[in-house]
Amino acid sequence: MGKGRAAFEQWQDAAHNIFSEQLPADDDAAFDFRLNFSPRLPRQLWAMAVRYSLYLLEKKAPGEGVEVRVAPWGAIKILDGPASDPHNLTPPDVIELDPDVWMRLATGITSWQEEKDAGRITAVGERDDLSGLLPLV
């Protein structure tokens, strides 16, 4: 867990540094900046940060009812509810996110609604809103 936590903290530190230096003063420009924010960090650090943050979400909302996928680095099952179909092992509710979208949400840079309105969240099922669980920190 130590390496994952360190990677997550490095991602947060990079975000803080970039925001303090580059965040536009104009509200519309700042909104666009936040929605497109993706720090240039080593791939391995991204992978560890994503996996650690998924671990945090899994601990925060245990269960088998919703699958959260952040390809290519991880997938977890969370929240109570109908479990996987025994034939395909996929729960009825599935949420798919790109790593940069996931990390923005996990760290509070953007909100669930902002990312959803921008078309950056793919969600199928009744429990397709994780806004009550985010940000993780």
The number of distinct structural domains making up the chain is 1
Residues 74, 120: Cα–Cα separation, whole Å: 17
pLDDT over 70 at 84, yes or no: no
pLDDT for 128? 87
For 79-115, b/e burial (b = at least 16 CB within 10 A) is: bebeeeeeeeeebbbbbbbebbbbbbbbbebbebebb
pLDDT at 87 over 70: no
What does the radius of gyration of the chain's CA atoms come to, in whole angstroms? Answer: 15
Instruction: Taking residues 12-29, report their average pLDDT.
Output: 94
Summarize pLDDT for 97-117 with one digit per residue, the tens: 999 999 999 999 999 999 999
pLDDT at position 88: 65
Q: Which pTM does this prediction carry?
A: 0.93
CA separation for the pair 42, 40 (Å, rounded) = 7
pLDDT computed for residue 45 by the predictor: 98
The residue range of the domain holding 76 is 2-133
**pLDDT of amino acid 75:** 97
Q: Give the pLDDT mean for 30-43.
A: 96
CATH of the domain at 11: 3.30.1050.40
Q: Are strands 66-70 and 93-97 parallel, antiparallel or unpaired?
A: parallel
pLDDT band at 86 (very low <50, low <70, confident <90, very high): low
What does the pLDDT read at residue 124?
87
Interval 78-92 mean pLDDT: 73
- Residue 10 CB neighbours (<10 A): 17
Long-range contact list for 11-17, CB < 8 A, 24+ apart? 11/39, 11/41, 11/45, 11/46, 11/49, 11/103, 11/107, 12/107, 12/137, 14/39, 14/41, 15/39, 15/107, 15/109
Mean pLDDT across the chain:
93
